[in-house]
Structure 1
């Protein structure tokens, strides 16, 4: 039961996908997928265009048939049920409001179809309108509203049904930057108030990092990583995740281990390591130190350009094996130099397999202890 207002009763349900797959002919959009979205959590499905995230959402909602596997919501298998029987409500990118109806009637329409009385419909709509700041707009039609207000009406129409699962398919894509920011805050607050299990699809990492309890990162229909925003940012499971999360993304450099050090292609030593062979080394832009740090190897890098962003600067510098981006405090003098000496703290480094791109946990822990 909702703690804010007893008129709205949302009982969150977990969602489990067991071996769920989707193919169009011979084209496999989503290979077998096993994942569970926990009841009451806000889960963001994140990935580039074409990775299968919207298809996954539509299969949960019942708008797409699964090619194989089971979808279990709560204790029920739903893959063979019609959308209206699944206990889900969906908010689309394009709002999909009835233009000839008022805001009140748009929100109340599903309740009317369900046979609720006028008094029951009015009570629920008024509660939802207060939650979403729409009380003063109930008699207006969608054409008289801003984009953000129309999106709130679409959200209101979804939550008034008291769904166990609330699905969002890139709902902020049509909003400008400031409105996207404001609506993100509203969505986070709304989730705290109603507690429905929420699955939110986006390609925007900022939306994912700021809204999610957990993030599911998809790449070509397969799970790259599923975890909290903090886990994904600080412990990426692959080069794909490392480069997809972060702005600028994690720097990835090719290195070779000779049994005592990991070195760049020109022989510059990066970090002590007993490993041998080729690897990919990652470090976040904010973790690179400009200038020679005591006890750590200094790497010579040549500055290509600098972007001043007000609160900080992003410096692009050329190292053997690629370009690194460095986040520095605004006004720092060091980035004005043509040649920089960089140091990579060992406890901020990430090591990945050169061929698969998968993370190699703990591989640099010994080096970290040595350099502390």
Structure 2
């Protein structure tokens, strides 16, 4: 461990947003928002384009003023402070490096502005460069570096300041698929090492699931769910979350309950349930089971198409007028006909309110404890 690692560990601070709002004239981008990001955690803010996630990030950094509410970092209110006074460092989507400066000078620039001596700047930049695998590239200018190397320079420029908070605004979106994968691993290892409070904005669910300690899912500026990746995947709080997380996304079916069973629109019974009324039923593609025993309770579906993806195959079938996707091991024999018999284990089912889209707990008595 070097001198920078424990310094960042010590500096790590929690971030609390109390009633924060953001409006542009008559347009409200973020309604009243209350949330806390825990010190030392890697939090991913996830959501579709236009949901307010980058605006939220910029308000924390001080690049956007709040319209109302408080932002508290550690024990200090910062909503009225300038960005340089907040103890945050930000990594942007476009890197924002000075093209006429070398990698060394880009990383060291904030230290120079802060008045550190040339010798101290050299020591700290060398530590960060070694941490990020940039030692051999410090004399190069950004135009002489690959996209991944430029991204690491931007990260180095952020962490060399030993910030209390690290902010990432979609930093991997400009990288190709392989480089995104490699950089995700580097970011995860870096966070485990330095333990900075990290807030990472993305629209990519893979980045969220692989990097986050906890995920904050935004929809039109409001919180849909804030929990661990495992909880969000296995117990989504709403249809929005259920369909946003997972590839393919969760299957959603319209059902009605008579107090004993839930039925599809064509009358097929799909599960026992004590509730009455109209609902939306969810099940993930990997949880749909091909019923090879042809039991009387099996659901009849008709194959639409099949995708072979190397590691597995995805079957799309018409079930009661809705396309349902299920995954099967790659190389498994295709169905003997275009008719599939399916079953849906009750412990894998999710029930949602038909109007609000919110999850309904306790609908299936057979739900296993590990999915609660």
TM tier, smaller: over 0.9
Query: Cα gap change, 1:267/1:155 in structure 2, threshold over 3 Å: closer, same or farther?
Result: same
Which shifted more, 351-360 or 326-335?
A: 326-335
Q: CA deviation at 1:259?
A: 1.6
Q: CA deviation at 1:362?
A: 1.1
1:365 is paired with a residue of what secondary structure? coil
* 1:283-315, Cα deviation, whole Å (9 max, x unpaired): 000001012568782000000000000110000
2:242 is paired with a residue of what secondary structure? helix
1:217 is paired with a residue of what secondary structure? strand
Q: Give yes or no for the alignment of 1:126 onto 2:116.
A: no
**What is the aligned-residue RMSD (CA, Å)?**
1.4
Query: Cα gap change, 1:293/1:359 in structure 2, threshold over 3 Å: closer, same or farther?
Result: farther
Q: In the aligned structure 2, how far is the partner of 1:7 from the partner of 1:159? A: 8
Do the aligned partners of 2:249 and 2:284 also contact (CA within 8 Å) in 1?
Answer: yes
2:58 is paired with a residue of what secondary structure? helix
Query: Cα gap change, 1:335/1:151 in structure 2, threshold over 3 Å: closer, same or farther?
Result: farther
Who is 2:164 aligned against?
A: 164
Do the aligned partners of 1:42 and 1:214 also contact (CA within 8 Å) in 2?
Answer: yes
Who is 1:5 aligned against?
A: 2
Q: Taking structure 1 as the reference length, what is the TM-score of the superposition?
A: 0.96
Q: In the aligned structure 2, how far is the partner of 1:322 from the partner of 1:287? A: 17
2:280 is paired with a residue of what secondary structure? strand
Q: In the aligned structure 1, how far is the partner of 2:361 from the partner of 2:263? A: 19
1:300 is paired with a residue of what secondary structure? strand
Q: Taking structure 2 as the reference length, what is the TM-score of the superposition?
A: 0.96
Q: CA deviation at 1:335?
A: 4.2
- 1:188-267 matches, within 5 Å, as 188-267=188-267
Query: Cα gap change, 1:272/1:294 in structure 2, threshold over 3 Å: closer, same or farther?
Result: farther
| Structure 1: segments with no counterpart, 5+ residues | none
- 1:355-370 matches, within 5 Å, as 355-365=355-365
Query: Cα gap change, 1:312/1:196 in structure 2, threshold over 3 Å: closer, same or farther?
Result: same
Q: In the aligned structure 1, how far is the partner of 2:294 from the partner of 2:13? A: 54
Do the aligned partners of 2:4 and 2:162 also contact (CA within 8 Å) in 1?
Answer: no
Who is 2:101 aligned against?
A: 101
1:20 is paired with a residue of what secondary structure? strand
Query: Cα gap change, 1:336/1:306 in structure 2, threshold over 3 Å: closer, same or farther?
Result: farther
Do the aligned partners of 1:296 and 1:343 also contact (CA within 8 Å) in 2?
Answer: no
| Structure 2: segments with no counterpart, 5+ residues | none
Q: CA deviation at 1:321?
A: 4.2
Which shifted more, 273-282 or 53-62?
A: 273-282
2:186 is paired with a residue of what secondary structure? helix
- 1:34-53 matches, within 5 Å, as 34-53=34-53
Q: CA deviation at 1:256?
A: 0.4
Do the aligned partners of 1:257 and 1:276 also contact (CA within 8 Å) in 2?
Answer: yes
Q: In the aligned structure 2, how far is the partner of 1:63 from the partner of 1:171? A: 17
- 1:108-119 matches, within 5 Å, as 108-119=108-119
Q: In the aligned structure 2, how far is the partner of 1:295 from the partner of 1:336? A: 17
* 1:298-355, Cα deviation, whole Å (9 max, x unpaired): 0000000000001100000001141100011111224463110000000000000000
Who is 1:187 aligned against?
A: 187
Q: In the aligned structure 1, how far is the partner of 2:361 from the partner of 2:136? A: 54
